[in-house]
Amino acid sequence: MTTTTSKPPLPPFTAETAAQKVRMAEDAWNSRDPDRVVQVYTEDTQWRNRAEFPAGRAQVHEFLTRKWRRELDYRLIKELWAFDGARIAVRFAYECHDDSGQWFRSYGNENWEFTEQGLMRRRFASINDLPIKESERLFHWPLGRRPDDHPGLSDLGL
> What is the per-residue pLDDT for 131?
98
> What is the per-residue pLDDT for 1?
39
> What is the per-residue pLDDT for 3?
41
Give the residue ranges of the chain where pLDDT is below 50: 1-3
> What is the per-residue pLDDT for 4?
57
Contacts of residue 66, Cβ cutoff 8 Å, sequence gap at least 6: none
> What is the per-residue pLDDT for 5?
86
* Domains along the chain with CATH numbers: 15-136 (3.10.450.50)
The beta-strand segments (E) located in 21-153 are 41-49, 72-84, 87-97, 103-114, 120-132
What pTM value is reported for the model?
Answer: 0.95
> What is the per-residue pLDDT for 112?
98
Separation CA 155–CA 20 (nearest Å): 18
> What is the per-residue pLDDT for 2?
42
